[in-house]
Each structure stands twice: as structure tokens, then as C-alpha cells.
């Protein structure tokens, strides 16, 4: 028996900044955004429309605890992609997730199963949101043979996997759900960093968006912050702020630039604080190589905000572990340290 599950079905559980405003599709934009389906049956496929901008588009999924991936060969047309067939006719749990960031997005038009949908899974009560760059999005993390080295040339996104980014691992460690509002190359400010070159878009123009790249159908759209109120906010932006295309790289030790940059950073934190008044904020950078003065500047920001619910966390190897993107071992290293910090700060009686 074939059964088609529409995107608005009560059998589906969504996690992430996902556009569910349409009755016939759901839009997946940010890395790691996902949907979970429980079903009894022997096969499952996803009906999607992919919008590719660059790199190879890959879908990720976890079926009964086993992770898989598949390339999306077609773009700009509705396509059925088989995720599994020949399954035992028993209960199964499938989570379909977006492995990559803004190199593409896709609309989900539903699932077709050989069998029947079961009651939807429930999301954990604890909620995390991470604002970050490529490291937080899990870019190139699967290129394990390049651990502690630069990235492989021409990898075309095939090593990207948000599921194994440190925010997602941390969420699983803590039994939490997560919105991973991260994008590779992004800096705090517009016209800075690497995202959406040559007219670079910064986190100041992304943190409050659902559709965050102007090429998307319908253009930019605002995020309704009431849809998701996190208990923990990880803010890990600053890695890409030392680059401005076509201009000399800014110097964080320059007093004028430093103060101006910190004000831009604090403006976003204050805005998020208005939306999430009870959340615990963690300001950090990652183990990807960067000058230590950026960590010092974030420590200054934390002190200047003077809020006991906003803490600066520094990884043991912050800025000095690798010239390329952190691989799986380094993502898990970061998650182990961050998990321990959060447990100590929030869940351990002192």
C-alpha cells in the first residue's frame, strides 16, 4: 500500500528554521534543518525541488540509527528520491536533513512510503540555537584524511555534514533540539567575510531571516522569533571578519576598527537578548586558525555587555588547531569541551 505524506501532515516533526507557511511544501534553508517521520513499511522516498547555486547538492538522512546520503542530481524540478527500499515490514524512524548551507536549498513536497505513517516523534524540551559560520555548519568535516591540514581542492561540498558539526553533537549530548543558524564564510558585518561574494552578506542581515539569500524564490523573508525560543544560544561568529574583499584586511588590534566591530557584534547580541530574555548565551570562536586578539575582543565584549547570562567560552585549542576546516575528530573535540562547559554552568549545582 502506497501512502503519500504531505508536508503539513501531523506525522512529521520539523526541527530548524523551516518555512512551513505553504500547504504543499516546506522550505529547507539552513544547514542541519530536518524533518522526522515514523512509519511502518518497506520503502520510503522524498519528493523535493532543489535549488542549486554552487557545489554538489547532497541530502542527508538517518534511518533507524544508520546514517546515509544521496546526491540530488536534478535542480529546479520536482523529483522523487528513493531513500530506502526492501526494508523489513516493521516500524522505522527516518530523519531527513540538510547537510549543507547556502550552496542550495530545497522544498520538500512530502514523502511516499510503502506502508503507513505512525504517530509523530516529540522534540526534546531543551532548546539550543547556534549562530555561526562554516565550522558551525559542519563544512568539510568529513575530509578526515586532511585532519589538521588545509581543505582538499575542488571538494564541491561533498564532505560537508551539519549532522556532525559541534552544535549538533552538543545538542545530542544534552538531549536537546537545535536550530543551526550557520552559514559558511559569514562575518558579523555586511560587505565583510566570504559569504555571497562579491556583495558579501553578514550575520547582521541573516540572524533574523528565514530565507536569507536574495536568490531564493520570493526573496528574503523574516524569521518569526516566537516560533522558537532557545534556552541556550551559541554565538560563534568572528572567524571571517578579518577579510574585506578588495580592501586591506582589517586589523583587530586597530583601536578604531576594534571598537566599531565590537559595537556591531553587541548590537546583534542585544537584539537576540530582546527575543530570548531568559536564554544563556555562549560567545565563542572555534579551533580553526585565527589570531588570538579576536578571542580577546570577544572577552571584552562579554565584559562590556555585563550580563551574568552571557559568558565567553574559549576552546582549549581555539584558533590554533587547524588551518583547514575542523574534521570529525576536531568537531567532536569541540563538542566535548562545550558540553562539559554547559553542564557545569547550567546543570551542576555549585
3.40.50.1110, 3.40.50.300, 3.30.479.30, 3.40.50.2000: CATH of 127-347: 3.40.50.1110
How far, in Å, CA of 196 to CA of 140, rounded? 18
| β-pairing verdict for 26-28 and 104-117 | antiparallel
Residues near 246 by Cβ (< 8 Å), separated by ≥ 6?
A: 198
Q: What is the 3-state secondary structure (H, E, C) of 214-276?
A: CCCCCCCCECCHHHCCCCEEEEECCCCCCCCCCCCCCCCCCHHHHHHHHHHHHHHHHHHHHHC
pLDDT confidence band for 349 (50 / 70 / 90) = low
pTM of the model: 0.97
| β-pairing verdict for 127-132 and 177-182 | parallel
Q: What percent of the chain has pLDDT over 90?
A: 98
pLDDT in tens, 275-315: 999 999 999 999 999 999 999 999 999 999 999 999 999 99
CATH code given to domain 2-117? 2.60.120.260
CB 42 within 8 A of CB 85: yes
How far, in Å, CA of 221 to CA of 209, rounded? 6
Question: Is the model's pLDDT at 184 over the cut of 80?
Answer: yes
CB 261 within 8 A of CB 241: yes
Locate the domains of the chain by residue range: 2-117, 127-347
DSSP H helices in 113-249:
166-174
Q: Is the backbone peptide bond immediately before 198 cis, with ω within 30 degrees of 0?
A: yes
pLDDT in tens, 150-162: 999 999 999 999 9
Amino acid at each position: 500500500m502506497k501512502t503519500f505524506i504531505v508536508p503539513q501532515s501531523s506525522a512529521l516533526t520539523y526541527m530548524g528554521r523551516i518555512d512551513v507557511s505553504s500547504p504543499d511544501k516546506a522550505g529547507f534553508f539552513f544547514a542541519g534543518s530536518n524533518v522526522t517521520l515514523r512509519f511502518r513499511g518497506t520503502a520510503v522516498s522524498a519528493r523535493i525541488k532543489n535549488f542549486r547555486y554552487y557545489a554538489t547538492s547532497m541530502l542527508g538522512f538517518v534511518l533507524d540509527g544508520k546514517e546515509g546520503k544521496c546526491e540530488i542530481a536534478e535542480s529546479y524540478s520536482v523529483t522523487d528520491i528513493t531513500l530506502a527500499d526492501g526494508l523489513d515490514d516493521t516500524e522505522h524512524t527516518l530523519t531527513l536533513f540538510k547537510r549543507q548551507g547556502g550552496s542550495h536549498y530545497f522544498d520538500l513536497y512530502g514523502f511516499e512510503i510503502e506502508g503507513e505513517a505512525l504517530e509523530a516523534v516529540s522534540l526534546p524540551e531543551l532548546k539550543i540555537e547556534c549562530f555561526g559560520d562554516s565550522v558551525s555548519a559542519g563544512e568539510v568535516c568529513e575530509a578526515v584524511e586532511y585532519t589538521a591540514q588545509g581543505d582538499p581542492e575542488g571538494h564541491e561540498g561533498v564532505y560537508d555534514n551539519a549532522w556532525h558539526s559541534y552544535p549538533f553533537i552538543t545538542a545530542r549530548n544534552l538531549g536537546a533540539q537545535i536550530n543551526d543558524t550557520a552559514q559558511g564564510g559569514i562575518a558579523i558585518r555586511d560587505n565583510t567575510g566570504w559569504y555571497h561574494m562579491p556583495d558579501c552578506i553578514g550575520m547582521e542581515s541573516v540572524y533574523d531571516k528565514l530565507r536569507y539569500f536574495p536568490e531564493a524564490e520570493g526573496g528574503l523573508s523574516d524569521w518569526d522569533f516566537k516560533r522558537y525560543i532557545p534556552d541556550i544560544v551559541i554565538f560563534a561568529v568572528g572567524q571571517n571578519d578579518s577579510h574585506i574583499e578588495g580592501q586591506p584586511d582589517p586589523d583587530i588590534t586597530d583601536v578604531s576598527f576594534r571598537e566599531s566591530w565590537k559595537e556591531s557584534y553587541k548590537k546583534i547580541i542585544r537584539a537576540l537578548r530582546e527575543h530570548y530574555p531568559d536564554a544563556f548565551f555562549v560567545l565563542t570562536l572555534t579551533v580553526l586558525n585565527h589570531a588570538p586578539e579576536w578571542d580577546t575582543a570577544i572577552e571584552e565584549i562579554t565584559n562590556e555587555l555585563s550580563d551574568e547570562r552571557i559568558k565567553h567560552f574559549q576552546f582549549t585549542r581555539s584558533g590554533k588547531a587547524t588551518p583547514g576546516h575542523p574534521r570529525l575528530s576536531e568537531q567532536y573535540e569541540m563538542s566535548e569541551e562545550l558540553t562539559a562547559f554547559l553542564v557545569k554552568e547550567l546543570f551542576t549545582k555549585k
